[in-house]
Amino acid sequence: MRGLTGAGPDRARGSSLAVIAAVASIAALALFVAACGAGGTGPRDEGPAHASAVAGAVASPSPSPSEKYRRVDAVDLIKKDPAVSGTVKRELKPCSGDDYPVDVTYGDLTGGSVNDVLVNVTTCGDYVGIAAYVYREENGTFTNVFKNEESPVYAEIDGADLTVTKQVYDTDNPVSNPSRETVITYGWRSGRFVQTQIHETDYSKTGAGSGAADD
């Protein structure tokens, strides 16, 4: 009996352990199968969404800005322009070689699709302004929309405004020392340039400004 009672519990424990091991193996197998099933469908389900997210994160290239600058032959423009006086055309000669005394500036003064062209004609030696013109592109052709041929004169583009500077000299004043200077500002209104402001400065004999007035 002792032998039976001693051997009985050992066999019972062995049987219990075998049952527990079998149950554990079955549970592990079930978990493995479930994991494989989830792992197999998971990436396939997430793949397209992930690809869409990546595609959405890529920035689309921005369109290049429109080109408004169009270079012109200012000398040819002046010579062929019927609005330019014969005097200016005759005085427009090269200073040396093909170097003509013209300053050309491009800018948006009239709100056109192509930049406007400002041309200043000067003398060769002392660089005195003879005339100033503004050309606007219309239907593929540059048309004269402003001119000032009252020398000495020089025009500039100031933002969206056109500024015209005129200098007055006393009889004995050198070119570098004007007696008075007038700066007139023009704006493009209803298809033409309209004066919007005038600034006048009187210079003393020593060259220092002695007074100014604004309208």
- The pLDDT of residue 135 is 98
pTM score of the predicted model: 0.65
Residue 130 has pLDDT above 50, yes or no: yes
Supply the mean pLDDT for the chain: 76
* Confidence check: pLDDT of 3 > 70: no
Percent of the chain with pLDDT over 70: 64
C-alpha 123/C-alpha 153 separation (Å) is: 11
pLDDT (tens digit, 9 = 90+) per residue, 97-112? 999 999 999 999 999 9
Mean pLDDT, residues 192-196: 97
Q: Which residues contact 190 (CB under 8 A, 6 or more apart)?
A: none
The 8-class DSSP code of residue 147 comes to E
Residue 55 confidence (pLDDT) above 80: no
Write down the pLDDT at residue 83: 97
- How many other CB atoms are found less than 10 A from the CB of residue 10? 9
Residue 153: count of CB within 10 angstroms of its CB: 22
Q: What is the mean pLDDT of residues 121-137?
A: 95
Confidence of residue 172 (pLDDT cuts 50, 70, 90): confident
* Per-residue buried b or exposed e for 84-111, using 16+ beta carbons within 10 Å of the residue's own CB: beeebeebbeeeeeeebbbbebbbebbe
Whether the pLDDT of residue 114 is over 50: the answer is yes
Q: How many residues in total does the chain contain?
A: 215
CA pair distance 122, 175, nearest whole angstrom:
13
Does residue 19 surpass a pLDDT of 70?
no
| pLDDT tens-place string over residues 56-70 | 344 434 333 457 899
Residue 105 vs residues 3, 74, 118, 135, 145: alpha-carbon distances, Å: 120, 10, 5, 11, 15
Domain positions in the chain are: 74-214
